[in-house]
Amino acid sequence: MKAHVLVAFLGYALQVTLKHLLKRSGSEYSPAQALKRLSELYSVDIVLPTVEGREIWLRRITKRRKIRKATHQLRLELPERLEPIQILKCSADSAIA
């Protein structure tokens, strides 16, 4: 029960904070509209094989015009690229597998 109340409170606090950030920046977005725009934000992994048989992983963020407007109004800066997550490949002789 305590966890449920905590999660509800955190959700409410985030919504109120988002509402104030949008209002302060003069945005025409409501918190729901801003969240909808931000939900269109994706990261993409580009995998480039090398001649040596290795792979170069590049992680990029989509930057659509609608998202740029929302992030600008919220004063959020998106990085040009993200650090790729290390992907561990399972081996056939792994004791855990």
Report the pLDDT value the prediction gives residue 94, as an integer from 0 to 100. Answer: 44
- For residue 74 the two structure tokens come to 């919220």
**Residue 81: pLDDT band with limits 50, 70, 90:** low
Question: Within a 13 Å sphere around the CA of 63, how many CA atoms are in the beta-carbon half?
Answer: 12
Q: Distances in Å between the alpha carbon of 14 and those of 21, 34, 62, 75, 81?
A: 10, 12, 24, 16, 26
Q: What is the mean pLDDT of residues 48-53?
A: 88
The H-or-E segment that residue 31 falls in is helix 31-38
* Global pTM exceeds 0.85: no
Q: What is the mean pLDDT of residues 18-28?
A: 88
